[in-house]
Amino acid sequence: YHIDAALFGKYLKDKYSIPRGVQHIDDKVIHVNQDLDGSISNLVTENNDEITADLFIDCTGFKSLLLGQALEIPFTTYKDKLINNKAWATHKPFKDKNKEMELWGNNTAIENGWVWNVPLWPNIGTGYVYCDGFINDDDALVEFQKHIGCGDELDYKLVKMKNGRYSKFWHKNCLAIGLSSGFIEPLESTGLL
């Protein structure tokens, strides 16, 4: 199934978690404090002072703020085997939703990498995965725009991928999920990890 991750996260927050008593804090972590044994004691945030908990779930993406940075768990890179390290991503509008709305994602090889095409309800999520050792970012964007038939009218995001995994996903009182624990290239996404 194709799921709009942002909408699904909002649904879980607003319709499931908060009605069941979960406190949602939208803030930026500026420091991680640790106990003498190395576990996380609290998070210092920009607007809410300190947040203390028994268990911390690191869902900070490639940054891996808690597991990778604060707890310094070693990272095993796969860049010698999986050379694609960047992607241009965007959402494009449907031209004809009745024809373009498919129940599967399409992946197409182009000049220096491959393009994903995932129809979602409001638009089509698409991106170009490539290795910056073979093409620079600007030229890759031009190839991608040519392939999807859209130009500067769309918002494009450059994603720097970190292929590999941390040696542990759970250390002391911190559990890393998703990109915070590792990543093995968008074709498999984090589902197979």
User: Which tens digit of pLDDT belongs to each residue from 5-62?
Assistant: 888 999 999 999 999 999 999 999 999 999 999 999 999 999 978 999 999 999 999 9
Q: What are phi and psi of 121, to 5 degrees?
A: -65, -45
pLDDT, average across residues 157-173: 96
| pLDDT score at 52 | 96
Residue 145 belongs to what H/E stretch? Answer: helix 137-148
Q: Tens digits of per-residue pLDDT, 95-112?
A: 999 999 988 888 999 999
Res. 140 pLDDT band, cuts 50 70 90: very high
The model's pTM is: 0.84
Query: Who's near 159: CB < 8 A, 6+ residues apart?
Result: 86, 87, 88, 89, 127
Instruction: List the structure tokens of 32.
Output: 């991680």
pLDDT at residue 193 greater than cutoff 60: no
| pLDDT score at 185 | 76
